[in-house]
Amino acid sequence: MRAARGGSRRQAEGTGRNPKLVFSDRLLVTLVHLRHQLPHAVLAELFAVDRSTVSEATRQVRPLLAARGFAVPDRAGLRLKTLEDVFAYAEAEGIELRMDGAETQVRRPQAGRPGRQAFISGKRRQNTIKTTTFSDAQGRMLLSGVVRPGRMHDQTALRTEGIAEQFRTRPTVKARVDSGCQGLAKEFPDQVSAPPKKPADEACDGDK
């Protein structure tokens, strides 16, 4: 808060409007959102607050968690803070990564806001935000990537975040991705595996 203001607080501690969620609750809301990808509206019902309160809490706490880093399972004291950290850890430990695009519904941006249409997800037909999550083979999260508008395709996000470059830099790292990242699997067939594309509705079932 001091950094955001650009200086010391102007009011004495304890004055002003009391927050609807104390810090421990804001932290809990953010952790539940990151781990289970619950929509902000659902979290608002669970904590008996407005959805905007949940959105504001996650915006405040996510940078703090990112600066702290993600704890590595079974490696006390080791934390992953960047994409480079994740790939270096996977290379050193021989871990096959799991990569997935997590999509969460959010409140519709205000009318007239530049880039408003970018938040409309083509798949869910809702206003969403997306993040690329990284986990190990047991599903334990290692990193949550940058937040981006829901309209952006997973394949585009993988390239803008520098994930493809990490595979080139560390050719021994392997990963499994979802069907939205077929292009990455084609570019790095020896490192990235993706499920086969679903057949078109008019495709035949095979020779009879």
Tell me the mean pLDDT in the region 101-128.
Answer: 62
Which tens digits make up the pLDDT trace of 40-74?
A: 888 999 999 988 899 889 888 988 887 888 888 77
pTM of the model: 0.64
Helix, strand, or coil (residue 44):
helix
Confidence of residue 10 (pLDDT cuts 50, 70, 90): confident
Using the Cα atoms of residue 49, residue 31, residue 38 and residue 52 in order, give the sign of their dihedral: positive
- Higher per-residue pLDDT: 120 or 86: 86
User: Dihedral sign, CA of 162, 98, 79, 4?
Assistant: positive
Per-residue pLDDT tens for 133-184?
888 888 888 887 777 766 666 667 777 778 889 999 999 999 998 777 788 8
Pairing, β 70-71 against β 141-144? unpaired
Helix axes 51-68, 23-36, angle to 10 degrees: 80
Paired tokens of 147: 């937040």
Tell me which residue of 86, 68, 196, 82 sits closest to 140, measured CA to CA.
86
156-189 b/e (C-beta count within 10 Å ≥ 16 → b): ebbeebebbebbeebeebbbbbeebbbbbbeebe
Indicate the helix (H) or strand (E) that contains 104: strand 97-105
Helix spans in 74-151 (H)? 83-93
CA distances from 126 to 60, 88, 112, 146, 162 (A): 24, 36, 18, 20, 27
Tokens 């990564």 belong to residue: 97
Q: Which helix (H) or strand (E) holds 145?
A: none
Confidence (pLDDT) at 11: 72
